[in-house]
Amino acid sequence: MEHKRNSFSSSIGFVLAAAGSAVGLGNIWRFPYLAAKDGGGLFLVVYLILALTFGFTLLVTEISIGRKTHQSCLTAYGKLNKNWGWLGSIASAVPFLILPYYCVIGGWVLKYFVAFLTGQGMDASADGYFTGFISNPVEPIVYDLIFLAVTCVVVYRGVNKGIEALSKIIMPVLILLVVGISVYSLTIKGGEQFGGRTGIDGFMVYVVPNLEGVTAKDLLVVTTDAMGQLFYSVSVAMGIMVTYGSYFKDKSNLMRSVNQIEIFDTVVAFLAGVMIIPAVFVFLGQEGMAQGPSLMFVAMPKIFADMGIVGRIIGCAFFLMVLFAALTSSISVLEAVVSGIIDKAKTTRKKATVIEGVVTLILGVVICMGYNILYFEIPLPNGVTAQLLDVVDYFSNSILMPVLAIGTCVLIGWIVKPKTIIEEATKNGEKFGRKTLYIVMVKVIAPIMLFVLLLGSLGVFKI
């Protein structure tokens, strides 16, 4: 039985772990696609503004809740106000639902890394390779199991020996890979068959705002996309930052750590676009950038194949980087669930990890079967045609996460008051930058924005 709560040994350990959670598939997979879709630089500007306001508000709120209560997301909200304990149930349900399909996708990344590592990158670039893999009744489950097992081992070892220790190794390597691939992407020069396009040309498409023909509706679409992306990027509204905040030492500088996480996450998200968009532009042109989420598993392997021998090396490094990003995020998602089980059931970390690992594997197998035995397609209220994985993703990310974030803003803004968070964040005499902005955001602006996002997800209006 664990009586003494774990804690990160240092602020840098906390920042690396929290940043590792934030730097996941949402940054690498979703950010470049949305940036390409929403006018490049226009999306970047809107995203940066939201990160410094909306993202900051939710991030500092959740970390402060965790540190103040010293509880996981499941029990922390009830500690603040006993009538609002139901928010903890939602906060735990989100990572519980996300983890199975996140590990499945992590298994896909592992498959592609192995393919490039073993010299099968050309095979991975072939038409139908990805569909053939995910529809296989056995292979995706094997890779899901391997990815999940590594995730469980890290969480099983605890906060210090597991999560923090791994983050201190993986995150610096991940950053080196991101920077290295980004620099290479900028140096690419396409031959005549690719219209002579260069990586710099693609970079300019990425960073220069395209305002041609932009209407108020278009701006609303960009804002909604950027706000939705922030949930993925900053790891808020999924119980993770509350849980990690509960391991953050009272004497450590919370505000400085929040600012570091913001910078870390935003820089990596931006570099994810630098890695992918210039390369896609060179080899596939403007139309290739509209391929959406399939960019990573369909378009990128084709691009690496077009690069020749060097493409095999870059492809291997790319999928290793994505694998690291996916792993750090899956660890934090599992930790949010395990920590809740420990606090609620008063059980050991080892038992909680094993139980949740088994449940996650079973649900992961079901999700893998959603591409073969259990295959179906249904329309969702937001207009997307979905398979089983998409349905779970929609319910957790598009419904529960906005509901949780709205509830958190109402609880902090109107019930326990913003001063609760401000006092916790400045308990060591730190300065609370953006204080007035924070109060206005948490009480009024953020709930309204989140409600609009939720209505869009529910299909109440189309944008």
pLDDT tens digits, one per residue of 105-130 = 999 999 999 999 999 999 999 999 99
* Over residues 19-42, mean pLDDT: 85
Residue 410's pLDDT band (cuts 50, 70, 90): very high
Alpha-helical regions (H) of 157-239: 165-187, 199-207, 216-234
Is pLDDT above 70 for 153?
yes
* Over residues 303-314, mean pLDDT: 92
How far is the C-alpha of 352 from the C-alpha of 37, rounded, in Å? 42
How far is the C-alpha of 395 from the C-alpha of 414, rounded, in Å? 27
Task: For residue 190, give both structure tokens.
Answer: 């396409």
Q: What is the pLDDT of residues 286-308, one digit of tens each?
A: 877 766 667 889 889 999 999 98
* Over residues 349-378, mean pLDDT: 97
How far is the C-alpha of 395 from the C-alpha of 273, rounded, in Å? 27
Domain ranges for the chain: 11-377
Residue 147: what pLDDT?
Answer: 98
Is pLDDT above 80 for 280?
yes
Q: H or E element: which one contains 156?
A: helix 139-156
- Residue 23's SS3 state is coil
* Over residues 1-5, mean pLDDT: 56
Residue 194's pLDDT band (cuts 50, 70, 90): confident
With CA atoms as reference, report the closest residue to 290 among 28, 33, 25, 32: 33
Task: For residue 69, give both structure tokens.
Answer: 């209560």
Angle at 420 between CA 255 and CA 398, to 5 degrees: 75
How far is the C-alpha of 9 from the C-alpha of 251, rounded, in Å? 11
Phi, psi of 40 (to 5 degrees): 55, -110
CA 369 to chain centre: 24
Is pLDDT above 90 for 191?
no
Residue 289: what pLDDT?
Answer: 72
Angle at 86 between CA 248 and CA 5, to 5 degrees: 25
Residue 24: what pLDDT?
Answer: 84
Q: pTM of the predicted model, to two decimals?
A: 0.96
Residue 2: what pLDDT?
Answer: 44
Q: What is the pLDDT of residues 373-402, one digit of tens each?
A: 999 999 999 888 999 999 999 999 999 999
Exposed (0-12), middle (13-18) or buried (19+): which is 3, by Cβ within 10 Å?
A: exposed
With CA atoms as reference, report the closest residue to 67 among 204, 285, 241, 256: 241
- The rounded mean pLDDT for the chain is 93
How far is the C-alpha of 420 from the C-alpha of 64, rounded, in Å? 9
Q: Which of 12-16, 27-31, 86-90, 223-227 has the lowest mean pLDDT?
A: 27-31
CATH of domain 11-377: 1.10.4160.10
* Over residues 351-367, mean pLDDT: 98
Residue 1: what pLDDT?
Answer: 41
CA dihedral sign of residues 165, 432, 268, 230: positive
Is pLDDT above 60 for 364?
yes
Beta strands in 304-397 (DSSP E): 378-379, 385-386
The more confident residue out of 36 and 251 is 251
